[in-house]
Amino acid sequence: MRIKNERRYVDSKSERRISLELPDVIKLQSDAHSRDCGDIASELEVSPERGLSSEEVERRQNSYGPNILRTKRSVSSFRLLCAQFASPVVALLAVAAIVALAFGEWKEGTAIAAVLAINSIIGFTTELRAVRSMEALRALGESFARVRRNGRIVEISAVDLVPGDILVLEGGDILPADLRLASTSNLLIDESALTGESVAVEKSAAPVKSDAPIAERASIAFKGTAAARGSATGIVIGTGMDTELGRISRLVFEAEPERSPLERQLDRLGGQLIWVTLLITAVIAGVGIASGRDVFLMVEAAIALAVAAIPEGLPIVATMALARGMWRMAKRNALVERLSAVETLGATTIICADKTGTLTENRMRLKRLVVDAINVEFSQDLEELRADGAEISINDNRMIREALTAGALCNNAALEAGEDASSGDPLEVALLHAADAAGLNRDDLLTDKPKLREFAFDSDVKMMATAHKSDAAVTYYVKGAPEAVLAHSSFVYRSSGPEHLSAEGREQWIEKTNELASQGLRVLAFARKSAASADVPPYENLEFLGLGGLHDPPRRDVKPAIAACKRAGIRVVMITGDHAVTAKNIAISIGLAEQDIHVVEGKTLKPVVQLTEHDRAVILHAEVFARVTPAQKLDLVTVYQNAGDIVAMTGDGVNDAPALKKADIGVAMGKRGTQVAREAAAMVLRDDAFSTIVEAIREGRIIFRNIQRFVAYLLSCNLSEVLVVGLAILAGLSLPLLPLQILFLNLVTDVFPAFALAAGAGDAAVLDRNPRNPKKPILTRALWVVIVGNGLSITVATLGSLYVAREYLGLGADAAVTVSFLTIAFAQLLNVFNMRDPRTHIFHNDIVTNSYVWAAIIFCTSLLLFVVYFPSVASVLHLEPPNGKAWAVILAMSALPLLFGQIGKEMSKIRALRRRAIVAL
């Protein structure tokens, strides 16, 4: 089993090119778990006693490369800047600017270019800050490894590890590479980041079945996992991307990220605007030229129409709306990398949630303690003990106190000031926390009962024991697997003292063990005995104390957050690598599913290409998936997306990363999330709170509704401008609005009210409705009715004011154009109130109560007065200060569209009430 490597290798005796033959680690890894360790060492040509030589290490480093994972390349500032110009609307604006400059319209061309610059700067600076924050969060420090080389144990950078290295592992170490274990001593490894299983697993050097899944390969220790207890030596069989972690990382890079629904819909809308604009300008210009109109005038008119048709403010307002959402989410501990990701959460129809570390705390807790006839339940914060529904005190029960003492003294873990800093086996840490909460501090217990001897956990007997000096005797405390402890117990500890443990009593304890295990709990048994010295066999004639049931508890915020998701019409599906019974019980406890839930296990899932319609139906209706692999998580996301769902994937482990990348939006945990998971996600929760996702969904829905409003507002304003200019040209009249005036309207009287709509606080009941259909466009039929209706009313008002100014007031060209300009400007400002929901009150709704709307109206009114009465600016825009009669026409005509719009809202409300009344009957 060899691979040829034709790299140049310099022999010390001669400059000659030789062919290096090195072991094929990929093929070796496929069955290393089922082969004897000696065979692996021979295959890798290494002596476990001496390790590799320096020369061999250098040779292998040249061939296999450094022990590093492929990481996400830092996004360059130039690339982010270029991305701001990818929108079709931005492209059309750029073309309009070029055409205007080409025909000598310097003011118009420069103004459009300024719009592009402002939009790009806002988007660029916002996304750059978010991207750099994410990259800083992903940074990791250098790690080291202890290996045997040249017959000596040395510490090296983990980057320099090569296949064949003999690695020495101790409790607390993070695995720097994939190992085939050669020898172990009570080795326990936390693989939750890789497999999703919250309980640390026992490892040994013995081969396992060749078809064993990753989670059951006890003879392999995987890169990125952590040694919770014990020690070991092993042979490195994979480094860098040739590890299990590397293969998952490769899935992340191969998973194609989905474009957000908003990006797709805005691009579709932009494309439609391009064709409409081109069609209108071509038709109007063609008709004018064919009728003998001046060519230059027609070009000017075409530019005016193009400027009128394009909502120049759309890119800016959309960018600002999303940027504001990012800033608000950052304050809520959610760091978003892409602007569109905020809105995507608002469109989410299904959340695929990892269990360990996302729905649960990823730390073990003692939940149940069974002693004699008492079944004690601990609260999640360990502050309260209850038995048969009544609160009890540890001081009232010697059996509970003795069982907790056994758990605390027969223990090698250590509690630190911060819970995350505690070290040791997670189960032992949990026992220390339970005892400490009950007032049994381990240090105090050791002061009263100093440890004389320890009998380390033995995987053969499945027990551990410690001997302690106690008055004139020695007390032994034992913990281990229930069946093992019961088999070595002759007595049972009761309130009256030790009593003989009968065969019937032993069976009853086994039944209690099975009952706890069926609830998804990890069960340990405790025992004790007294002896004259610390030299007697520790596991004979034990006094059985009771059982402890431990679990990885749900996060406190998860249950109400899932209830909020259900009210919002969002499905939450649990996808985990943990056991089915554990997943089922967690799902029931957090309100995700009912008691009769069916858990789909990974071994029954087929690849996507092999799924039948029945298989897809089973997947789409399932609520919990257990024992799934990273590739299967990826497949599940694909199945949901193919069914039309907008998928949010949450996770913190390496095994979640590919699905995080593939989902419409990946959400990683910031505190406990792995580097690979954070790198694959579009959003990172800095507080690891699932409830933050619900807030993000609320924010996303509000943003989309606001986007709908300001798009409808902008398009109704632009439609009125197109109709005013187009009808005037078709009628052979002079232009009622000049290109620069239209551009001013689009950038001032349109943009600031649109900003105000984008900043709206939203409806309080936004999470009480189902998610919008992601297949529907931004502008629904009802919104097009609003756009066309308001656009027509503003057009009539504007042309009417122009007619009155020319025919009845006898104003000159510039004075009449000023009347039409101010009429359409104020009509568009007041049009913002026509964007309210028809179901709301005319005088009390979220637009009338929006302070930003009033600020925008006051600011824009001030600007309009400034450009009219400031001579230098007025001359650029060809405006003249109106007289009193002209102002009366302007104010009266600009109020008509608001009046028509509100009448339409009230009629729509009446029709809706009638429909509901008919349905009720």
> Which residue, 716, 720, 746, 859, is CA-closest to 112?
746
Alpha-carbon distance of 181 to 32, in angstroms, equals 10
Q: Which residues of 121-156 are buried (b: 16+ CB within 10 A; e: fewer)?
A: ebbbebbeebbebbeebbeeeeeebbbbbeeeeeee
Q: How far apart are CA 219 and CA 222, in angstroms?
A: 10
Helices (H) and strands (E) in the chain, counts: 31, 28
DSSP element (H, E) containing 234: strand 226-238
Distance CA 296, CA 301 (A): 8
CB 510 within 8 A of CB 486: yes
683 alpha carbon, distance to own chain's centre? 5
The number of beta carbons lying within 10 Å of the beta carbon of residue 27 is 13
Please, are residues 438 and 422 in contact by the beta-carbon 8 Å criterion?
A: no
Quickly count: other Cβ atoms within 10 Å of residue 230's Cβ. 21
Looking up tokens 């520790």 gives 538
To which residue do tokens 């900003």 refer? Answer: 755
In one-letter notation, the amino acid at residue 433 is H
CA angle at 322 for the pair 838 and 274, rounded to the nearest 5°: 80
Measured over the CA atoms of residue 23, residue 25, residue 31 and residue 35, the dihedral's sign is positive
Residue carrying the six token digits 């994972």: 69
The span from the CA of 499 to the CA of 492, in Å, is 5
Q: How far apart are CA 279 and CA 122, in angstroms?
A: 31
CB 565 within 8 A of CB 572: yes
What distances in angstroms separate CA 747 from CA 18, 271, 718, one per listed residue?
71, 21, 11
Burial 288-314 (b: 16+ CB within 10 A, else e): beeeeeeeeebbbbbbbbbbbbbbbbb
Cβ 267 vs Cβ 89: under 8 Å: no
Token duo for residue 310: 């394009």
**Assigned token pair, 59:** 């040779």
Cα–Cα dist 838/246, whole Å: 55
The answer to whether the CB of 665 falls within 8 A of the CB of 651 is: no
> Which one of 165, 178, 242, 354 is the catalytic residue?
354
Most distant CA pair in the chain, distance: 120
Q: Is there a contact between 772 and 847 (Cβ–Cβ < 8 Å)?
A: no
What are the residues whose beta carbons fall under 8 Å from the beta carbon of 698, sequence distance 6 or more? 346, 762, 766, 767
Residues facing residue 464 across a β-bridge = 479
Contact predicate 462/497, CB 8 Å: no
Q: What angle do CA 773, 776, 779 make, to 5 degrees?
A: 125
| Geometric angle at alpha carbon 913, from 911 and 919, rounded to 5° | 105
Specify the pairing of strand 571-575 against strand 624-626.
Answer: parallel
Distance in angstroms (rounded) separating the CA atoms of residues 262 and 137: 27
Helix axes 339-347, 261-290, angle to 10 degrees: 110
Would you call 354 a catalytic residue per the annotation? yes
Token digits for 403?
A: 């069982």
- For residue 331, give both structure tokens: 């304050």
Q: Name residue 371's beta-bridge partners.
A: 374
Name the residues annotated as catalytic. 354
